[in-house]
Amino acid sequence: MEYRVPYADTDQMGVVYYGTYLTIFERARNELMRASGYTYKRCEAEGWMLPVVHAEVDYRRPAKYDDLLEVTAWVRAMRGVRIEIACEVRRKGESELLVSGFTRHCFVSSKDFRPIPPPEGFCSL
């Protein structure tokens, strides 16, 4: 996924806020799910959710206002009712890693909020 950094995502010096990367991770996860056919509308219709239960961000170099970022997301691990989705962020066309990290999620029933097994076929992400 590509993401152009808007001014609203930066501090007064034009550097991207640390917490903004979690939002970028969320967008990358949405695009990963969408590409595999699992939109959040589909998840809702099937009666399950995928809330974040843990997040880690390794901030290495700053991105700045108007940078065009390349964000790569992939399933790092799936165990039981949990899934980890990793992300890496670089400026488009550059190899230097700006940020890496992951979010851990739990498959949860939208009816009673209890953990449930992943939907059949979800492993293909």
Catalytic positions, written as ranges: 11
Q: Phi then psi for 107, rounded to 5 degrees? A: -75, 125
* Bridge partners, residue 125, by sequence: none
The Cα 81–Cα 21 span in angstroms is: 25
